[in-house]
Amino acid sequence: MLHGLFNGWGGTITCPRSPSYTVADMAAAIGPNAEHRVIGARPGEKRHESMFSLVEASFVVSHGSHYVVTPQTGRSSIEEYCEATGARKLSSIFEYDSGSNPERLSVEDLRLLISSEMGGGL
């Protein structure tokens, strides 16, 4: 949670690597016996959340369990950031979004996560 505070430079954006899940799976995890009505997307609503785009990807580095979007202009370069922090440039360019993220949480995974956050109760 404090990765950006300790490793960020002016203008960097820190994106944690985390699994994706659907709203429907979250609803099933929280209220398995409740009625779940699908009403569809509202106008302008996004289907997936994008953490960084293909345009930004050439300025993204991998740093531990996070991706860091480095500034495209400014006082320092992506190479300087990597050298100073131990980050690595991405080996390939890709978009990081909830739709293409290969890591997924199942309904059971979500139940376990929620239960652990609530001290064992769901």
Instruction: Name every residue whose Cβ is closer than 8 Å to that of residue 51 and which is 6 or more positions away in sequence.
Output: 15, 67, 96, 97
With a CB cutoff of 8 Å and minimum separation 6, the contacts of 19 are 101, 103, 104, 105, 109
Kindly report whether the global pTM for this prediction surpasses the value 0.85: no
Q: Give the pLDDT score at 1.
A: 64
Tell me what pLDDT residue 121 has.
62
State the pLDDT confidence band at 19, using cuts at 50, 70 and 90: very high
Kindly report, residue by residue over 75-92, the tens digit of the pLDDT: 788 999 999 999 999 999
* Per-residue pLDDT band at 10 (split at 50, 70, 90): confident
pLDDT at 53: 92
Cβ pair 21, 69 in contact under 8 A: no
Is pLDDT of 93 > 70? Answer: yes
